[in-house]
């Protein structure tokens, strides 16, 4: 990859940002296709998001991804929201159109594609999602759109969890959507009712992170999904595998949401296999180093 005066810059903003594997995936794709783009990580400290977005616009950055904890907040600083982002006020992909920044949400579609890839059908299924941030919002919206039978939201903060429930009920007023505060005592009664469990929080990313519930209550039929991708096999995924549950790691969602963003920035069809191989190599080597 040769950087010159015509190189187009895209990237990702977040806090923390050291864990991101997106630069490896996108730069491998740019190199494979011979596109004069480079993808960079940008650490944005709390309280500096608005200035960061203004700076990226001033520097003529062509677009960027948004990761924790800014997916909801960044929606306030773009010029327009399109697609699902306009409903859920959550943005993980920003695209420059002329002098304007347009916000999109590709997380929900990326997650749905990761389930499809594993042969998991969700219509009529009961789903429990842990977390109520930007990723949870996007995933929940997509699940309801695809016709799940019920949605249970569990979140540590009561206010944020109820806010998400109320937002989803405005869009899907006839859907059974329930919220519970994050307490270990809620899991024994809920888990037997759940077909799919999704961790949409960063828990599992750091060494020593605890399991959020006693795995003895985990039914054998429940599909376990974790959107954390580093480590690729989080404690939740490892425990579920031991018990024989079907699992979905965070790699699929990362790949497919990234592929959609790639298409939005470049107008070119992304080389999925190249991107997947770059991710798998990076995440597998990170596990081996641990």
> With 60 as the cut, is the pLDDT of residue 289 above it?
no
Range of the domain at 157: 108-250
Give yes or no: 71 in active site. yes
> With 50 as the cut, is the pLDDT of residue 241 above it?
yes
* Same structural domain, 93 and 134: no
* Same structural domain, 113 and 231: yes
Burial classification of residue 259, based on how many CB atoms lie within 10 Å of its CB (0-12 exposed, 13-18 middle, 19 or more buried)? buried
Number of domains in the chain: 2
User: Buried b vs exposed e over 216-235: b needs ≥16 C-beta within 10 Å?
Assistant: eebeeebbbbbbbbbbbbbb
pLDDT of residue 290: 39
Kindly state the average pLDDT of the residues 175-184.
93
Rounded CA gap, 160 and 66, in Å? 19
Beta carbons within 10 angstroms of residue 15's beta carbon = 15
- CATH number for the domain spanning 219: value is 3.40.50.720
* Same structural domain, 124 and 73: no
* Same structural domain, 112 and 241: yes
* Same structural domain, 63 and 182: no
> With 80 as the cut, is the pLDDT of residue 28 above it?
yes
> With 70 as the cut, is the pLDDT of residue 40 above it?
yes
Q: Could you tell me the strand order of the sheet in which 8-14 lies?
A: 37-43, 8-14, 63-66, 93-97, 100-104, 80-81
**Angle 71-18-77 from CA coordinates, rounded to 5°:** 25
Which of 38, 50, 40, 51 has the alpha carbon at shortest distance from 17?
A: 40
Average pLDDT, rounded, for the chain? 95
Give all strands (DSSP E) within the chain, no chain letters.
Answer: 8-14, 37-43, 63-66, 80-81, 93-97, 100-104, 126-130, 150-155, 177-181, 196-199, 223-226, 247-248
Annotated catalytic residue within 71, 113, 125, 230? 71
Rounded CA gap, 288 and 245, in Å? 24
* Same structural domain, 141 and 205: yes
- CATH number for the domain spanning 89: value is 3.40.50.10860
Q: Does some domain include residue 2? A: no
**Contact yes or no for 279/257 (Cβ under 8 A):** no
Rounded CA gap, 8 and 96, in Å? 11
Kindly state the average pLDDT of the residues 142-153.
97
* Same structural domain, 15 and 38: yes
Q: Does some domain include residue 235? A: yes
> With 90 as the cut, is the pLDDT of residue 284 above it?
no
Q: What's the pLDDT band for 287 if we cut at 50, 70, 90?
A: low
Indicate the helix (H) or strand (E) that contains 252.
Answer: helix 251-266
Q: Does some domain include residue 243? A: yes
Rounded CA gap, 203 and 227, in Å? 10
**Contact yes or no for 106/93 (Cβ under 8 A):** yes
Domain boundary among 250, 266, 281: 250
Which of 219, 227, 161, 225 has the alpha carbon at shortest distance from 194?
A: 219
């Amino acid at each position: 990859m040769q950087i010159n005066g015509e190189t187009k810059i895209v990237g990702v903003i977040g806090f923390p940002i050291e864990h991101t594997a997106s630069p490896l995936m996108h730069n491998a794709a740019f190199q494979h296709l011979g596109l004069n783009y480079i993808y960079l990580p940008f650490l944005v400290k709390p309280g500096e998001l608005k200035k960061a977005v203004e700076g990226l616009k001033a520097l003529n950055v062509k677009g960027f991804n948004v990761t924790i904890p800014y997916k909801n907040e960044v929606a306030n600083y773009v010029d327009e929201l399109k697609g699902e982002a306009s409903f859920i006020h959550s943005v993980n992909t920003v695209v420059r159109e002329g002098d304007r920044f347009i916000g999109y949400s590709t997380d929900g579609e990326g997650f749905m594609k990761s389930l499809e890839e594993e042969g998991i059908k969700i219509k009529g299924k009961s789903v429990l999602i842990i977390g109520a941030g930007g990723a949870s919002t996007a995933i929940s919206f997509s699940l309801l759109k695809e016709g799940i039978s019920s949605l249970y939201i569990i979140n540590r903060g009561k206010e944020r969890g109820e806010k998400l429930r109320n937002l989803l009920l405005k869009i899907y007023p006839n859907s059974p959507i329930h919220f519970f505060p994050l307490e270990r005592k809620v899991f024994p009664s809920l888990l037997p009712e759940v077909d799919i469990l999704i961790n949409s929080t960063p828990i599992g990313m750091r060494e020593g992170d605890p399991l959020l519930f006693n795995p003895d209550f985990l039914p054998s039929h429940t599909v376990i999904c974790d959107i954390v991708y580093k480590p690729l096999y989080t404690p939740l995924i490892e425990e579920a595998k031991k018990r024989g549950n079907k699992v979905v790691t965070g790699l699929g969602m990362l790949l497919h949401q990234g592929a959609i963003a790639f298409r939005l920035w470049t107008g070119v069809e992304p080389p999925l296999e190249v991107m997947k191989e770059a991710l798998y190599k990076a995440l597998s080597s990170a596990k081996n180093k641990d």
